[in-house]
Amino acid sequence: MRQSGSPKEHSFSPRRPSFDLESALAHDWHGGSAFRTAWFNALSMMSPYGERFFIDSVNEFRDRIEDPQLKSEVQAFLMQETNHLHQHKKVNELLCSVRGYDMRAIEEPILSRAEWTKKNVPAIRRLAGTAANEHLTAVLVADMLRHNDSFIGADPGMADLWYWHGIEEIEHKSVAFDVYQAAEGSLKDRRLVQIFGTVFFLSGTFRILRLMLKHDGKLWSLREWLSGFKFLFVKPGVLRRACIPYFRFLQKDFHPWHDDDRYLIEEWEAKRQSS
């Protein structure tokens, strides 16, 4: 029985890049913009806890997998996500060290929410949340790679970090979804959890962003907030552009690989080899 919905010839494995980011993290590395810098720094702060949640959620249902391809994909998924966790943890610790952000104030609400979820939300719904968040991530990074305008003026090393992370998110974008299908998760839960998961993701990101802007004396800067609104919703509009593909997750017959964007992986690999 084939449980993987990936193209039959699709395979992937973790990469082991290294990044020298201390000098970039010490200042507003995204074109001097406090908002854009804080937006991506906040996403990085959220990443280790999200990755741990995803790893644990998928692990709980590994015994439901019989398809050799999906078994292989689950193993590669776990390795990639573990690597993302460690890379962002290193970046976050360095960021707090050089900028003076309060790691405890950033971490505690995330840890508290994660503990509550583990105790009160059934495992199948946690897996649905993982599938939903993996879809949101894949949509955002595909847009980032397709348009090449999310990091105009940004530090090249920081852009490389996010491009690497994005490529691997595309590679494993259907794993959690396929495990959820194999575990016979319901369409109702999938739809419901997508909304709650997105609210948590965005509220958590903006909470951290506000903490960073407040520390940097930019919380009440109208100029920064207007430029941030423009970046997210106008031009380039990274959240606006994601809306239509994001809502496809609600369709009954949805599958992540209905949008076959492996060409983005090939283009990125070609650029990396030529540089």
pLDDT in tens, 209-257: 999 999 999 999 999 999 999 999 999 999 999 999 999 999 999 999 9
CA atoms within 13 A on the CB side of 164: 20
The pLDDT value given to residue 1: 72
Q: Are 93 and 62 in contact (CB under 8 A)?
A: no
Q: Does residue 273 register a pLDDT over 90?
A: no
Model pLDDT, residue 198:
94
Dihedral over alpha carbons 242, 245, 250, 256 (to 10 degrees): -120
Residue 114 lies in a domain: no
CA angle at residue 84 from 104 to 117, to 5 degrees? 55
Q: What is the pLDDT of residue 207?
A: 98
6 in a structural domain: no
pLDDT score for 272: 87
| Residue 275 predicted with pLDDT over 90 | no
Is residue 56 included in any domain, yes or no?
Answer: yes
The pLDDT, as a whole number, for residue 249 is: 97
User: Nearest CA to 47 among 133, 122, 143?
Assistant: 133
For 6-34, the pLDDT digits (tens) are: 999 999 999 999 999 999 999 999 999 99
Report the mean per-residue pLDDT for the chain: 96
pLDDT at 101: 98
Ranges of H-type helices in the chain = 22-25, 34-59, 68-99, 103-120, 123-147, 156-171, 175-182, 187-215, 222-229, 243-247, 262-274
Flag whether 118 is in a domain.
no
CA-CA-CA-CA torsion for 173, 175, 179, 180, nearest 10 degrees?
-10
User: In the predicted model, is pLDDT for residue 118 greater than 90?
Assistant: yes
Asked whether the beta carbons of 256 and 138 are under 8 A apart, the reply is yes
Mean pLDDT value of segment 102-116:
95
pLDDT tens readout for residues 52-94: 999 999 999 999 999 999 999 999 999 999 999 999 999 999 9
Residue 143: partners with Cβ closer than 8 Å, 6 or more residues away: 150, 238, 241, 242, 245
Output the domain CATH number for residue 171: 1.10.620
User: From the CB of residue 4, how many other CB atoms can be counted at a distance below 10 Å?
Assistant: 23
Q: Does residue 75 lie within any of the structural domains?
A: yes
* 11 in any annotated domain: no
What total of structural domains would you count in the chain? 1
Range of the domain at 133: 22-108+123-274
The predicted-structure confidence for 125-157, as pLDDT tens digits, reads as follows: 999 999 999 999 999 999 999 999 999 999 999
Task: Decide if 7 is inside a domain.
Answer: no
Q: How confident is the model at residue 2, as a pLDDT?
A: 85
Dihedral pair phi/psi, residue 43, rounded to 5°: -60, -40
Does residue 172 lie within any of the structural domains? Answer: yes
Q: Is residue 274 over pLDDT 90?
A: no
